[in-house]
Amino acid sequence: MGGPGASTVMAPFVHVNPKGSRFSDGRTGVYYAGAEMETALRETVYHYEDFYRDADEGIIRTEDMRVMVGAIDAVFHDVDTLPAEDRAAVLAPESYVASRALGHQLREDGSDGVVFPSVRNVGGACVGAFRPTAVRIPVQGGHLSYHWDGARINRVFDYDSRVWRDL
């Protein structure tokens, strides 16, 4: 994959988070996206809060965040098709044990990725692409800035509307 915007898709595969993620133990990258803006916001806020807690930062405003809008061009495994007990384990808010095992198995089976209900935004939907070829190059939407109050991200600034929103 190459060309304008390709680095956005390639980044999670090139700069793999060594701590891992919901569907990866940190040895492979996954491109995550929310189907709705609110879902993407809630998911990224959760993970940035984790990052800032680890960094033991004081009160700060993060680097500006870009909203990327794109499409998925693949058939993904649907977590909603799992038996209720397995589904609950895969979607556990604070444990990635079952979801990482599922991600590993699906990747081994040649899957392009997974679609799953958001754990951070009830009613929202997410995708995790295991291969960059499953993702079309996104275009930039708006700009946001997250405010870290020393304990959590408590508000978000939307540059388009020029409004701070409390979380």
Predicted local distance difference test score (pLDDT) of residue 126: 98
Query: Distance (Å, rounded) from C-alpha 5 to C-alpha 7?
Result: 5
CA distance readout (Å), 6 to 14, 32, 86: 12, 15, 34
Q: Let me know if residue 64 belongs to a domain.
A: yes
Determine, yes or no, domain membership for 108. yes
**Residue 39: pLDDT over 90:** yes
25 found inside a domain: yes
Residue 110 falls within a domain, yes or no?
A: yes
> With 90 as the cut, is the pLDDT of residue 73 above it?
no
Domain that holds residue 39: 6-166
Report the number of distinct structural domains present in the chain: 1
The answer to whether residue 153 is domain-embedded is: yes
Beta-carbon count within 10 A of 118 CB: 20
pLDDT in tens, 104-148: 999 999 999 999 999 999 999 999 999 999 999 999 999 999 999
**What's the pLDDT score for residue 51?**
86
Nearest to 99 by CA among 120, 122, 76, 82: 82
Average pLDDT over residues 72-97: 96
- Which one-letter amino acid corresponds to residue 12? P
Confirm whether 91 is domain-assigned.
yes
- Domain annotation covers residue 1: no
Q: How many CB atoms neighbour CB 20 within 10 A? A: 17
pLDDT, mean over the chain: 93
Q: Say whether pTM exceeds 0.95.
A: no
- Say what the pLDDT of residue 5 is: 80
Q: Taking 80 as the threshold, does the pLDDT of residue 31 lie above it?
A: yes
Per DSSP (E only), the strands in the chain are 31-34, 60-61, 65-69, 77-78, 113-117, 125-129, 139-148, 153-158, 163-166
Alpha carbon distance 59, 153 (integer Å): 10
Res. 58: pLDDT tops 90 = no
Question: Distance (Å, rounded) from C-alpha 5 to C-alpha 72?
Answer: 15
Assess if residue 70 is contained within a domain. Answer: yes
